[in-house]
């Protein structure tokens, strides 16, 4: 499934002539783990009250989100190639109300975790047992709103909130540590009162184990996933040039050939 999702990301962004493949590829195993194993959700009933909620805070990686939704059954896989086309439901960033399975309009970085906190708190107030998962980018950790959300989540002891940080260490302008240093990242979240779990973000078993472990922990959990931007395609890996650029025709063929050869 990870290979299928990556293939979709390459094809979608190529057809659109734009998009954000690098961060989509780095978060593929995270998305596959959530949508195909961890989360309780029903594509045939996307507004089910007891569904787990998912927020894509790093909204620019919409291609991997749409691919996971389509492969899960929320809409036809064939629709993926309409990404960013005029009249398409698959906008450049997720838009609430446009596509089943999308819980929040995202793209203005740093806002997703705050909304996830609100959803987690709402579950408690409504007496419902759903969990809220929020996928964040490491570049957006430079936004102060995340740390306000972090304080709120620990203050209200939101056991049902799990944030996953795609720690690929690259943002559009280069290395995160050169743009605005984040380290020691794990210690900072622990200091804010969160449970912190560190995993290899391309090891599905580690991701699944961390999500399961967080279920029994008191308070909010932050899973820091060590990833590689552009993972799976050699010339895209650790290349911030593919943060917001699609493949050329020749690059597309090379990328698909590499993905097909992966075991």
Q: In tens digits, what is the pLDDT along the chain, a chain of 263 residues?
A: 999 999 999 999 999 999 999 999 999 999 999 999 999 999 999 999 999 999 999 999 999 999 999 999 999 999 999 999 999 999 999 999 999 999 999 999 999 999 999 999 999 999 999 999 999 999 999 999 999 999 999 999 999 999 999 999 999 989 999 999 999 999 999 999 999 999 999 999 999 999 999 999 999 999 999 999 999 999 999 999 999 999 999 999 999 999 999 86
Q: What is the pLDDT of residue 255?
A: 98
Q: What is the pLDDT of residue 262?
A: 81
Q: Answer yes or no: CATH 3.40.960.10 is held by domain 2-261.
A: no
Whether the full predicted model's pTM is greater than 0.85, yes or no, is: yes
**Could you give the angle at which helices 2-16 and 62-72 cross, rounded to 10 degrees?**
120
Q: What is the pLDDT of residue 225?
A: 98
Asked whether 130 and 51 are in contact (CB, 8 A), the reply is: yes
Domain range annotation of the chain: 2-261
Asked whether 194 and 162 are in contact (CB, 8 A), the reply is: no
Q: What is the pLDDT of residue 35?
A: 98
Q: What is the pLDDT of residue 106?
A: 97
Q: What CA–CA distance (Å, rounded) separates 220 from 263? A: 35
Which 8-state DSSP code applies to residue 87?
A: T
Q: What is the pLDDT of residue 263?
A: 63
- DSSP for 140-201 reads GGGSTHHHHHHHHHHHTT-TTEEEEEEE--EETTEEHHHHS---SHHHHHHHTT-EEEEEET
């Amino acid at each position: 499934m990870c290979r299928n999702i990556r293939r979709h990301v390459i094809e979608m962004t190529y057809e659109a002539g734009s998009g954000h493949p690098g961060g989509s590829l780095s978060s593929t195993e995270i998305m596959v783990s959530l949508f195909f194993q961890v989360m309780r959700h029903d594509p045939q009933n996307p507004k089910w009250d007891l569904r787990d909620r998912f927020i894509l805070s790093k909204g620019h990686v919409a291609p991997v989100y749409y691919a996971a939704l389509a492969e899960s059954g929320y809409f036809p896989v064939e629709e993926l190639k309409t990404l960013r086309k005029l009249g398409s439901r698959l906008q450049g960033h997720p838009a609430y109300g446009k596509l089943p399975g999308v819980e929040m309009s995202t793209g203005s970085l740093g806002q997703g975790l705050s909304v996830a906190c609100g959803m987690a708190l709402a579950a408690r107030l409504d007496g419902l047992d759903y969990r809220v998962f929020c996928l964040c980018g490491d570049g957006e950790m430079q936004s102060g709103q995340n740390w306000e959300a972090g304080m709120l989540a620990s203050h209200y002891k939101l056991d049902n909130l799990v944030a996953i940080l795609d720690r690929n260490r690259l943002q559009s302008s280069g290395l995160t540590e050169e743009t605005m240093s984040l380290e020691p990242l794990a210690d900072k979240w622990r200091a804010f009162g969160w449970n912190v779990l560190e995993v290899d973000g391309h090891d599905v078993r580690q991701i699944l184990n961390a999500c399961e472990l967080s279920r029994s922990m008191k308070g909010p959990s932050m899973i820091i996933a060590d990833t590689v931007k552009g993972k799976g395609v050699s010339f895209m890996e650790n290349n911030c040039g593919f943060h917001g650029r699609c493949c050329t025709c020749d690059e597309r063929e090379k990328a698909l050939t590499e993905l097909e050869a992966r075991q």
